[in-house]
Chains A and B, each alone.
Chain A
Amino acid sequence: MKPFVLTTCVWGDIHIDAMMTSMVPTLLAPGNLPELAQHFDTTYRISTTHRDAALLRVHPLIVAIQDHVKLEFVVATDEAAPGHIHHVNWYHQAIADARAAGALVAFLPPDVTWSGVTLGNMGRHMADGRLGTAMPYVRVISESILPAVAALQQSTRGAIDISGRDLMRLAIEHMHPLSAVATDASRHGRPSLEMLWHVRGEGLLLRNMVRELFSFNPNKLDITHLWYAGRGAKLDDVHIVTDSDEMLMLSFAPLMKDVGLFLQDRPIVGADTARQSLHPLNDTPLNPYFAEHSIRLHYEKITLERWAAAEALAELEFKQAVVARELMQICAAVQEFGGCSIAIRLLSSGLLEGLLAERWPVRRPSTIVVPTDAAFGPSPPWDLLAEDMADDLQRWIFDRVFLGLFEPAKGLADRLAVTGSKLHSVEIARQLGVAGHSVVVTNSAAASGRAG
């Protein structure tokens, strides 16, 4: 059987308590660790301190784990309270060791609860040849969820087997403000890669620009510093869970965590998630692929009409996000080239006022024409920024967007823009490939009937 390493990095009473009250009991549900161990040669690797290793070794549930898998302790420090950087380094060391052993890897954070089929379903996808899986999770208040899960354990005295729907109901009850602030109801926001929409009485719809991998093959998939699928990853490499019945995790956070990050009176919009996704630590080749997926987190049977309404809203907002991401990349690339500030400013204005998403050729490779500053002559069209000129600004931009990539041999003379316009006297200064589109910088580009 193929080797599989499950890895946890943990230290300190708070996290050990969460691990043994919640994570390990739900890990021992029949559809989780025991199911995974049927199909893989599985090792559970715990990186911790000397003190905590001694505590864990004798815990009955840790002993019970060994009925299913090999157990390995990595005592990585003598410090009782190592710094946070150890957490990252220990996980990366686990990846390196798994890679050397030809093993698959999955992260098991200590302060979480799993639904009762999560690992089993994850294993199926990895056995089917996927190189990684990405699972949804919801942040919940640790002060309240732990007693609730502890109460479940008292009735079982061992494994806790929670369905995805019951877990999602717990998520709604114990929702942490860090997740609640990302919903469509919130007047506030925070830096976020995700947005959530309420589906009353049934759950939440999730869209995100990227997600960390839950499991992956480190020999076939490059992993970034924050455990995203990295360079070279292809669309079908990663299974993205789209229904919480399949896999779900609740991630614990103390109530007062990260309050300083909240953005007051500024709910999250698509462009915000786009910017966040372009941060170097979050920017991966699969971001556009993640952004396409609607993920249903539900505690009831799904009523299609209710979800369709939320999905339509989410699609509108996330189209804004995807378009924003592409245009931000295009503007950044053209800025590097220089000499096109007028066009960049017009594009930026149109984008940030939400004028472009409806017509932008998402997932259709296109040619975007960007005039140089010289092409505008002495009178750049700043009046396009007037409040009553939104349609004109939109038209100006789309007069310079052509479906299909640029072919130098054919040029642009006979092509029609998405508005039906043609460009006159196109003198090409430079051609770039950005975000799946061709960006053509021109020294002259008057559209039919328009200056500039």
Chain B
Amino acid sequence: MSSTFAAGEEERASALAACLMTSGHEPRAIAEWRRRTAWMMHRAGERWHELVLLSEVMDDFARSRGPGDPAPAFYRVTATMTGGRDPLAMAEQCYTLGLALAPDRAESLYNLATLLLRRGETGRAFAAFDAVAHMPPAADAQAHAFLNANADWRCGEILEARGELESAAARYESTLRTVGGFGPDQLRYPRLLRRLKRHEQAAAEYERAMPYSHRYAPEFVLPASAVDFPADAVPPGKPVDPLAIWPVETLPDGAKIIFCAGLYFRLQPGMSPEHADALLDLASTKGLRRLFKRIVRCAPSAEALRR
């Protein structure tokens, strides 16, 4: 199975939507598919994103090894998971594709922004965090994600690095007003206040930073209803290429149900799942129509295709 991320994810997303329309689904169903698939892209991105973080931890550990120390098994384990793909690039592409399907998905934009920071693209990251600070999170976001507040804090960090200290302080203050305790990171704020010579306020903030609190990484705090890859289609817990094709089952008449990019496809008997890979080669509408004659139907659930 293979996939490539061509330029123009919006075009790809629209073409996949066209598959549904050709299959006879109404706009409301398509909108629901877009919502589901955007979450699946986010979920796929999050799995790769976790590997980015773990790789950073283990890279630091590996650099401190002594001569003759065994190479960390972490790299062997993750090589099997990643298949040679770069977790950061995969995560970035997943979030980008998800945003093409659902531009108002604050969670995906926040996560993408953290990756942009890793690439050193501070300007783009700031713009993204600033947008997220004012976007509504998912309706059933978990309370401890504090997505807007975390985005505000990130803006504050970038502003502070730029030397815009008063603006940074305002962002930190806004965050702490919302979240109360912010874990060890909270110390940034009184330190900045000292630099701004707001000594009395700094002292109060040092006192606030004394007790235990925890800052959860919102990147990894999913809304309660975030759609995950179906267990019958994709192995749980491991990084996944969301545009890979996953066989689901073979029906009694020889037709195959496959899963790709949040949609289930029913392929006519005799047709290999690899043929459906051509869905990803969206060179022209003519090509898509020719391809689609070979596909009976596609749907957001396997159940609909078993009938």
Contacts and interface: CB of A to CB of B under 8 A. Distances in A.
Interface of A: 141, 143-145, 148, 169, 172-175, 177, 180-181, 183-189, 191, 198, 200-202, 254-256, 259-264, 266, 269, 271-272, 275-276, 278-279, 328, 331-332, 341-342, 344-346, 348-349, 351-352, 380, 382-387
Given A180-B58, A201-B68, A262-B53, A278 B202 contact: no
Given A183-B61, A259-B50, A269-B184, A385 B76 contact: no
Contacts of A260: 216-217, 220-221
B215 interface: yes
A187 B74 contact: no
A349 B203 contact: yes
Contacts, number: 155
Contacts of A387: 194-195
Interface in B64-88: 64-74, 76-78
Given A266-B184, A278-B211, A345-B206, 4 more contacts: A173-B72, A255-B74, A263-B217, A349-B202
Contact of A278 (B72, B184, B190, B212): B212
B210 A352 contact: yes
Nearest to B63: A185
B103 interface: no
Contact of A255 (B54, B60, B217): B54
B203 to A, nearest CB: 4
Contacts of B212: 275-276, 278-279
A223 B37 CA distance: 49
B65 A385 contact: no
A141 B216 contact: no
Nearest to B114: A264
B209 interface: yes
Interface string B241-282: 000000000000000000000000000000000000000000
A148 B77 CA distance: 13
B183 interface: yes
Interface string B50-62: 1001101110110
Contacts of B53: 188, 259, 262, 264
A175 B72 contact: yes
A387 B183 CA distance: 23
Interface of B: 50, 53-54, 56-58, 60-61, 63-74, 76-78, 183-185, 187, 190, 194-195, 197, 199-200, 202-204, 206-207, 209-212, 214-217, 220-221, 237-238
A188 B197 contact: no
9 contacts: A172-B65, A187-B56, A189-B184, A201-B68, A254-B237, A276-B212, A328-B210, A331-B207, A351-B210
B56 A188 contact: yes
Nearest to A324: B210
Contacts of A143: 77
Contact of B58 (A177, A184, A272, A328): A177
B60 to A, nearest CB: 5
Contact of B206 (A172, A187, A348): A348
B75 to A, nearest CB: 10
Contacts of B71: 173
A383 B199 contact: yes
A172 B69 contact: yes
B301 to A, nearest CB: 26
A260 B49 CA distance: 11
A349 B66 contact: no
B65 A200 contact: yes
Contact of A188 (B57, B66, B211, B214): B57
Contacts of A272: 184
Contact of B60 (A141, A185, A352, A384): A185
Given A169-B70, A172-B69, A269-B184, A346 B210 contact: no
A144 B183 CA distance: 32
B216 A386 contact: no
Given A201-B68, A387-B194, A348 B209 contact: yes
B215 A263 contact: yes
A352 B203 contact: no
B194 A385 contact: yes
Nearest to A191: B214
B103 to A, nearest CB: 26
Nearest to A277: B212
Given A256-B237, A344-B207, A386-B199, A144 B73 contact: yes
A-B complex: 4 closest residue pairs judged by Cβ atoms: A201-B66, A345-B203, A144-B73, A260-B220
B72 A349 contact: no
B97 to A, nearest CB: 22
Nearest to B213: A275
Given A259-B54, A263-B183, A275 B211 contact: yes
A202 B50 CA distance: 30
Nearest to A173: B70
A346 B205 CA distance: 11
Contacts of A342: 203
A180 B66 contact: no
Contacts of A380: 200
A144 B75 CA distance: 10
Contacts of A180: 57-58, 60-61
A278 B184 CA distance: 14
Contact of B185 (A186, A191, A263): A263
Contacts of A187: 56, 60
Contacts of B202: 349, 385
B57 A385 contact: no
B298 to A, nearest CB: 31
A352 B61 contact: no
A187 B78 CA distance: 20
Contacts of A279: 212
A380 B72 CA distance: 54
Among B63, B77, B210, B214, chain A packs the most CB atoms within 10 A around the CB of B210
A271 B237 CA distance: 34
Contacts of B61: 175, 177, 180, 183, 185-186
A384 B54 CA distance: 41
Contacts of A262: 53, 57, 217
B63 A382 contact: no
B211 A328 contact: yes
A269 B216 CA distance: 18
Given A263-B215, A275-B212, A386-B199, A341 B207 contact: yes
B185 A174 contact: no
A177 B220 contact: no
Contacts of B72: 172-175
Contact of A348 (B68, B210, B221): B210
A201 B69 contact: yes
A346 B199 CA distance: 10
